Amino acid sequence: MGKLLVIIPAFNEALVIGKTIKGVRQSLKDAGVLIVNDGSSDTTGIEAKRAGATVINHPINRGLGGALGTGLYWAKERDIDCAITFDADGQHDPDDILKVLKPIHSGNADVVIGTRTKSGWNEIPWDRKIVLTLSNWLTWFLFGIKTTDSTSGLRAFNRKAIEKIQIKTDQMEVSNEFFYEIKRCGLRLEEVPIKVLYTDYSRSKGQKNSNAINVGVKLLLRLFR
Amino acid sequence: MNVLIFPIQLVAIVFMIFAFSRVWLRAREGSISRGMFLFWILVWLLLLVAVVRPELTTQLAKKLGIGRGVDVALYISIVTLFYLNFRNNVLIENLRHEITRLTRIIALGQK
């Protein structure tokens, strides 16, 4: 199975981070858990350490892309064989980690995306459906990859993907950038259905709908950089 | 040849001399690259020609099928402003990325 690492980017998640880490550790006992504390002003780092995770502290907030980039860089340096990205806000079911690991372990994929739309489309709020549909379309338009969940935070990467992927965006647009990297590096992608647990807390912490335009503009800018 | 018919031309020329001096000073202190220096010198030179010899813009306008010289200047200005705004956005994004890299190095160095 090799060395497994669950990367959890976290910004002001002190209320839920302990519970999220415990859930991950229960589902995946052999995996290391790395929290990239992205310049939180609360006690996220302390709570994460208390729950038994390794913590890297960004001195200032850099956004989701910055935190995931740090986590993947750490995984690359530590010769991790398989890295999983997992949201801190509790919207993922820890048991779904095993589902996204399956295609990696069987050697069928280099990157696996846990898609929330294949089995839980009805549970996604209508406004999120619109944003998600537009984001999926933009990912296809810009990068030529069809996906059913371009903004999913639950992903798995094998060693080849960890070594090759180079994240350049800092904010929410990183979710789309992963698809660009998958294509650029010639990696094999697979999607597996996962559950979606939308709570008031996860909704308040997630991407704002108004930010979707900003993400789109930044992705377009990136093309002409 | 009509030179300095209107006071507005005088004001514009004084402003352009000021602009030239800023470009020259920024280049001398190394704040802008040689390419950017040439770009701005060219921009201000073209504007200077347009102010001193406005009939040239009218001739250009007729060749482009636009009509009035002032319209040509306006269109070129808008396109140039859009381009500069785009360049600024790209520059800001690059700076953000550099800050993230620096943050990463500091964070990993603490471990």
Looking at residue A206, its pLDDT comes to: 63
CB contact under 8 A, B107 and A57: yes
**Quick one: closest CA in A to B85, which residue?**
A221
Q: Choose among A70, A77, A221: nearest Cβ to B107.
A: A70
Query: At CA B83, angle to CA B80 and CA B87, rounded to 5?
Result: 135
Looking at residue B30, its pLDDT comes to: 82
Question: In terms of CATH architecture, what is A4-223?
Answer: Alpha-Beta Complex (3.90)
The chain-wide mean pLDDT, for chain A, equals 89
Q: What SS3 class is residue A26?
A: helix
Main-chain phi, psi angles of B2, to 5 degrees: -90, 115
Confidence of residue B110 (pLDDT cuts 50, 70, 90): low
**Amino acid identity, position B6:** F
B53-88 as b/e: b if 16+ CB within 10 A? ebeebbeebeeeebeebeebbeebeeeeeeeeeeee
**Sheet bearing A32-38, strands edge to edge:** A54-58, A32-38, A4-10, A82-85, A155-158, A111-115, A189-193
**Quick one: closest CA in B to A60, which residue?**
B103
Looking at residue A222, its pLDDT comes to: 66
The answer to whether the beta carbons of residues A52 and A158 sit under 8 Å apart is no
pLDDT tens, A141-163? 888 888 999 889 999 999 999 99
CB contact under 8 A, B93 and A65: no
CB contact under 8 A, B108 and A65: no
Does B107 lie at the interface with A, CB-CB under 8 angstroms? yes
CB contact under 8 A, B93 and A60: no
Show me where the domains of chain B are located.
Answer: 7-109
pTM of full prediction above 0.80: no
CA-to-CA distance for B100 and A168, rounded, in angstroms?
Answer: 9
Cβ atoms within 10 Å of A98's Cβ, excluding its own: 11
Q: What is the mean pLDDT of residues A45-71?
A: 96
Q: Is the model more confident about A9 or about A171?
A: A9
CB contact under 8 A, B107 and A168: no
In angstroms and rounded to an integer, the radius of gyration of the C-alpha atoms of chain A is: 16
Smallest Cα distance from B55 to chain A, Å = 37
Q: Is the model more confident about A79 or about A143?
A: A79
ipTM: 0.82
Residue B26: both structure tokens together: 């920024």
The answer to whether the beta carbons of residues A33 and A25 sit under 8 Å apart is yes
Q: Which of A6, A25, A180, A9 is nearest to A101 (CA)?
A: A6
Helices (H), chain B: 7-28, 34-52, 54-64, 69-110
Show me where the domains of chain A are located.
Answer: 4-223
A167-185 as b/e: b if 16+ CB within 10 A? bbbbbbbbbbbbbbbbeee
CB contact under 8 A, B103 and A60: yes
Confidence of residue A208 (pLDDT cuts 50, 70, 90): low
Q: What is the mean pLDDT of residues A174-189?
A: 93
pLDDT tens, B44-76? 888 888 888 888 888 888 888 887 877 888 888
Cβ atoms within 10 Å of A20's Cβ, excluding its own: 27
CB contacts, 8 Å: B99 with chain A: 60, 62
Q: What is the mean pLDDT of residues A98-112?
A: 95
